[in-house]
């Protein structure tokens, strides 16, 4: 029943590659997340609220969580550890870093940070990724 115009192909493909059937709810979520020029950082609550605000028939909480998790597992979203009580997700899945300022997340492109020295992994282990968080506060 999916009105499958090519325009949505890219968003549908992300769902398919995550093993998800492209239902209306999922396609809308995928478009909301990926149909934008800039990186989008969000919590599931924020995503749900901003999408449902504009809708008469709300998408359920479980569908938001399920879809975000599947997209994350398929590598289309990255999960960030910035605060201890909420998961932040990131549509920028390339290796990069963040400013974090009172709930607001700002990308730092990978080439803006360079290491002069990095430790090696303990024996038997290897490095999966290196994540830098620069916390900000107001001047004076």
**Contacts of DNA in 57-76 (CB under 7 A):** 57-63, 65-67, 69
Cβ contact 3:23 at 8 Å: no
State how far the alpha carbon of 119 is from the alpha carbons of 109, 114, 127, in Å.
Answer: 22, 14, 10
Cα separation, 130 vs 106, in Å, equals 17
We find the least distance from the C-beta atom of residue 68 to DNA, in angstroms, to be: 8
Cα separation, 120 vs 117, in Å, equals 10
Residue 99 interacting entry, from a copy of itself, Zn ion, Mn ion, none, C-beta within 5 to 8 Å by type: a copy of itself
- Of 16-24, 31-39, 105-113, 123-131, the segment contacting DNA by CB under 7 A is 16-24
Q: How many residues does the chain have?
A: 140
Q: Which residues contact 74 (CB under 8 A, 6 or more apart)?
A: 14, 17, 18, 19
User: Between 106 and 125, how does the x/- string for binding to Zn ion read (CB under 5 A)?
Assistant: -x------------------
Site for Zn ion (CB under 5 A): which residue of 92, 99, 100, 108? Answer: 92
Q: Is 76 in the site for Zn ion (CB under 5 A)?
A: no
Interface residues with Mn ion (CB under 5 A) are 85
């Amino acid at each position: 029943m999916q009105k499958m115009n090519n325009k949505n192909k890219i968003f549908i493909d992300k769902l398919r590659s995550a093993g998800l059937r492209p239902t209306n709810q999922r396609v809308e979520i995928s478009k909301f997340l990926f149909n934008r020029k800039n990186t989008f950082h969000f919590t599931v609550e924020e995503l749900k609220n901003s999408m449902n605000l504009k809708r008469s028939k709300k998408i359920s909480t479980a569908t938001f969580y399920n879809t975000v998790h599947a997209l994350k597992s398929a590598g289309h979203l990255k999960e960030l550890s910035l605060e201890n009580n909420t998961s932040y997700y990131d549509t920028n899945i390339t290796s990069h870093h963040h400013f974090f300022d009172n709930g607001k997340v700002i990308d730092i492109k990978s080439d803006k940070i360079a290491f002069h020295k990095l430790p090696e992994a303990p024996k038997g282990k290897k490095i999966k990724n290196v994540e830098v968080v620069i916390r900000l506060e107001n001047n004076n």
